[in-house]
Structure 1
C-alpha cells in the first residue's frame, strides 16, 4: 500500500531507520497483533520476552498512525488530577492507576536504554503552563495533590516560568520531573527493531480485513494471507476501522496539528532552554517543544488548514510564535502535519475484552506514548496468565458513544474557528 511521505517531521528526522516487511505466507502464532504503533509493538516485544510467538500486522508503515504524529511528550499520568482519577476508578484501581502511570515514563526510558533506541530522549520533565490566572489556580490544586503523593512535581511561579520557557505569556506552571520528550517515530521504530530482535514477526503494507473464530483460536484474514492465532490484540486506538463491529464508535475522534520551524540555532536557544515539552491549561490545548536540531514544534487541536508554506495553520503558528517570542523575527516552517486522538467521555482509557482471546486497549486521550507502552506490557501479562485483577484498569464492556460522529464534526468546526480567531 502506498504511503504519502513524509507523514510528519519525525518521519524524516528519526535516527532509527524505517523498514518494509511484506507478508509472504500464511502464519500461525500465539498472538496476532493488529497495528504497528506503540501498543502493538510494545505488546509484541513483551510477548516475545515472555516466550509467546506473535505477528504484527500494519496496514501502512511502522508508526503511520498517532505514534508517528505524536507531540513526543512522555507524560506521567493523564489529563485528570489525582483526586479525579481516584473518584472515577475507586479505591483499588485509582491508586494503582496513578502509581503505574506515574512510573510510565521510567518504563519508556528503561526500554530506550535497554534497546539503545535512538529517539532524542530528554529526561528534564514536562511543563504544564497556566494560560490564565484561573489555569494557575487549577495547577496549584493539582500540585497539592501531587505533594500528598510525594511525586516530584514542582509548582513554578510566573517568574520561574519565564526562565523555563523564554516567554512571559504564562501565569505559572507545573514541572513534572518524572517526564520528558522523545522523537516519537524514532521510539516506535526502535520498539519494532527490539521486537523483531526478540523474535516477533512484523509485516507492513498488510490490511486485516476480517476476524473470525476457528476452534479455540482466531483466524485473521488479510489482503496478503491468513494468520492463525490463539489470541488477538487490536492496537489501533484512534485509527480503528471496521474490523470489529462498533469498536470505532467507543470514542470521539479529534485531530491535533503541528508545525515545525526550520532549525533556529542560537536564535532559539533561550526558548525552553532545558528542552522540556510544554502544554497549557487552555480548553483548546496548545503545545510547544524544541527538538535536538533546535526546531520549534508548535501545535494545537484541529487539522492543518493549508500547508507549511501558506494557509490558516501557518498563519496561526506565526502569530503564536510572534506573540510569545517577538525577538525571534520571521520564521520558516519545515513541516506541517496532523494526527487523530481517541477521546473517551470521561478522558480515561479502556481495556476491552471483545471475545474470548480478543482484547483491545483503546481511548488514550492524547497520551499515547506511556499508555501504549504500559498497555502493551499489560496485554503480554494477560496473555501469559496474569490475573486480570492485576491490570492498571478493570476490563470493561464495550459502550458506544452515539454522539461521537456529530461531536467530531462539531469539534473540528470549533478548532478551525479557534485557529481563525487566534490568527487575527
Structure 2
C-alpha cells in the first residue's frame, strides 16, 4: 500500500480487491461516524448498519492499512495475560467477563465470514502454542489448565504429537486450542468492508480526520475535503492513531513485527509441514510465529523492523531458523517480506476509552487484533444502540495514560530484536 512493498507484503498480493471508495469531499450527516478502517471500525460499522443506523466510516489511508492488514493471521482466543491473572488485573467481574468475551471471539469471526461469504482463506483447525524447552512446557501446561477449568477446548500435546503436527522435533510440547484458526488478514478486513457497504455504510478512504468540534448535541468531524456531522463518534485507530486522538498511540509502546513468506512449497513438503494447517507461535521471549497460506507458502515472522540494518539481520535469521526447524526445505528464498507495529499497553490488555460525550473506542490489542477487534467492534455498536450499558461492556472505562520511557522502550525493542536475531540460530 502507498507504493510500499514492505507494508503488507503477501496479504496485499493475494487479497481480493476492496470496495471502491473515494475521499470525503462534501458535508454529510450520519448517526455515527467511525474513524479507522480496521477490524474494530469495520465490525462496528457493519453491526450498526444492520441495525438501521446511518454510518460513515473515515479511513486516513486504505482499508486494513494498520495492523489489520499486516498481522500473521491467527484468530486467537484470549490475550497474552494468563487467564487466572485477569481477575487480579481487572477485578473479578471484568476479569471473568473479558475471558468469556475473548474466549468466544473467534466464533464471531468465523460466523461473520460464513454469513457474508468472505473469501479470506479461513481455516478452523485451531492453533498450536509450542513450548521451547521445559520452561516453555510448564508455561503452556499452566495456560492449558487455566483455560480447561473454564470449559475451553484446549489440549496439551506431547513432544511426539507436536512434532507430527508441526513437522519439526524442535518443541517440548504444545497447547492445541480448537477455538482458534487462521485467515488471510487483509482479505478479512476487505471482506468486512464489502459487507458493511452492502449493509449501507459509506466508506471514505484517504480521509484523515483533522479536527472535531461539538455543536449542541452533535459532533462535526472534519477532514481536508469535507465533514461529517453525527451524534456518535467511534475511535478505532489504535496503534496508528494521529491527529485528535494521538493519545491512543502514545499510550502504547510500539513493538515492530515482521513476516517473510516463502514461495509455495509443493505437495511433498506441505504434507509434512503443518499438514493440518494450524497457526503456530512459540514461548520464546523474542517469539516466532509461522503458518501456511492457502497456496502452500510458509509465512514465518518475529519481532523486528525490516528497515536499515534490520532488513539483512532479520532476513538472515529467518533463513537460518527455517533451515533448522525444517531441514528438508533447504536454503529458502522469500517471495514477500513486510512488517508493522504492535501496540503494547503497560499490562498487555486492551483499553476502553470515553474521549468525550458520545465519543468512545477500544484500543491496545497487544498483537491480538483479529478476534478482539471484531468482538469489541460489535460491543461498541451494541452500546450505541442502547443494548449494552457502559457498565456492561467487556472492559472498564479508563483514561489514556502514556507509559514511562515509551520512546526509549521502542528503540530498545527494535535494536534488541536485531541483537537477538544476529546471534540466533547460528550453527
TM-score, normalised with respect to structure 2: 0.96
Distance 1:272-1:116 versus aligned 2 partners, 3 A rule: same
Q: What do the CA deviations read for 1:85-143 (whole angstroms, capped 9, x no partner)?
A: 12212211111111111110000000000000000000000010111210101111111
Instruction: Tell me which residue corresponds to 1:321.
Output: 322
SS at match of 1:83: helix
State the alpha-carbon separation in 2 of the partners of residues 12 and 169 from structure 1: 31
Question: 1:227, CA displacement in angstroms?
Answer: 1.0
Distance 1:4-1:223 versus aligned 2 partners, 3 A rule: farther
The answer to whether residue 156 in structure 2 is matched with residue 147 in structure 1 is: no
Question: In the alignment, is the contact (CA less than 8 A) between 1:32 and 1:233 conserved in 2?
Answer: yes
Distance 1:53-1:317 versus aligned 2 partners, 3 A rule: same
Question: In the alignment, is the contact (CA less than 8 A) between 1:258 and 1:336 conserved in 2?
Answer: yes
Instruction: Tell me which residue corresponds to 2:398.
Output: 396
What are the residue-to-residue correspondences of 1:186-197 with 2, within 5 Å?
186-197=187-198
State the alpha-carbon separation in 1 of the partners of residues 144 and 299 from structure 2: 27
Question: In the alignment, is the contact (CA less than 8 A) between 1:132 and 1:170 conserved in 2?
Answer: yes
SS at match of 1:246: helix
Question: In the alignment, is the contact (CA less than 8 A) between 2:132 and 2:171 conserved in 1?
Answer: yes
Gapped runs of 5+ residues in structure 2? none
Question: In the alignment, is the contact (CA less than 8 A) between 1:312 and 1:423 conserved in 2?
Answer: no
Question: In the alignment, is the contact (CA less than 8 A) between 2:49 and 2:201 conserved in 1?
Answer: yes
Distance 1:351-1:7 versus aligned 2 partners, 3 A rule: same
SS at match of 1:405: helix
The answer to whether residue 207 in structure 2 is matched with residue 223 in structure 1 is: no
State the alpha-carbon separation in 2 of the partners of residues 233 and 307 from structure 1: 38
State the alpha-carbon separation in 1 of the partners of residues 320 and 268 from structure 2: 17
State the alpha-carbon separation in 1 of the partners of residues 66 and 58 from structure 2: 13
Question: In the alignment, is the contact (CA less than 8 A) between 1:131 and 1:169 conserved in 2?
Answer: yes
What are the residue-to-residue correspondences of 1:11-410 with 2, within 5 Å?
11-17=12-18, 19-244=20-245, 246-269=247-270, 270-305=272-307, 311-385=312-386, 386-410=388-412
**RMSD across aligned C-alpha pairs, in angstroms?**
1.7
State the alpha-carbon separation in 1 of the partners of residues 129 and 123 from structure 2: 17
Question: 1:423, CA displacement in angstroms?
Answer: 5.6
Question: In the alignment, is the contact (CA less than 8 A) between 1:211 and 1:244 conserved in 2?
Answer: no
State the alpha-carbon separation in 1 of the partners of residues 249 and 262 from structure 2: 34
State the alpha-carbon separation in 2 of the partners of residues 399 and 7 from structure 1: 30
Aligned length: 423
Question: 1:407, CA displacement in angstroms?
Answer: 1.0
State the alpha-carbon separation in 1 of the partners of residues 247 and 83 from structure 2: 31
Gapped runs of 5+ residues in structure 1? none
